[in-house]
Amino acid sequence: MLTAEEIATQIDLGEIEWSGGLRGDSLLLHLGSPIQPLIASSSGQVIDLADQASIDALYGPPQHGWYSFDLAPGQIALCQAQRPVRLGAGLAGAISTLSHLARVGLATHITSPWVQPGWNGYLTFELSNVGPVALRLRRGMPVSRLAIFRMEGVAQPVPRHPFYGGSGQLGSRYANEFTPDGSWR
């Protein structure tokens, strides 16, 4: 894991692009816009992961001008980070919730915290309330940190993903990327 001093060096060398602050030895991540709740249109609803329209039906409309959002117990919402980040080809990251927020039930990225080498764009938080009461989120509040790791050996270039990190597209594009047998499209 890179120290704050090494992160600053990598920023100076152009291997990391980051306009935000640090928290200890990691980048401090804030809630940005849009925020997009996951919704169930009916009880018993089933999402067919091989059908992109079925996946898309899981999401409410993105809220671009939001100031606060109440995340109910058991609810999940996606939210774009406030600032983009770019990691060099030999650097990867892991997102973790700030412990103060975890202690009230907020999880920001428990299911897929890994940020691939060469990432370039806005990260998307997978916000989940695992606590007993609603949590009021506010745009701009710090929620997570991104620890940066140096990859060992020769790093394989990761092509820019067409679905993530750019224009505010937050939801899963799984069915657009994989065929039902699991191969790449």
Active site residues: 126
Task: Locate 183 and state its tokens.
Answer: 């191969």
Q: Nearest Cα to 16, choosing from 113, 125, 115, 143?
A: 115
State how far the Cα of 54 lies from the Cα of 161, in Å rounded to an integer. 21
DSSP for 125-183? EEEEE-SSS-EEEETT-EEEEEEEEEPPSSPPP-PPPSSSSSSS--S--HHHHB-TTS-
Determine contact, residues 5/16, Cβ cutoff 8 Å. no
Question: Using CA atoms, how far apart are residues 125 and 61, in angstroms rounded to an integer?
Answer: 16
What is residue 12's DSSP assignment? H
Interior angle at CA 70, CA 69 and CA 74, nearest 5: 125
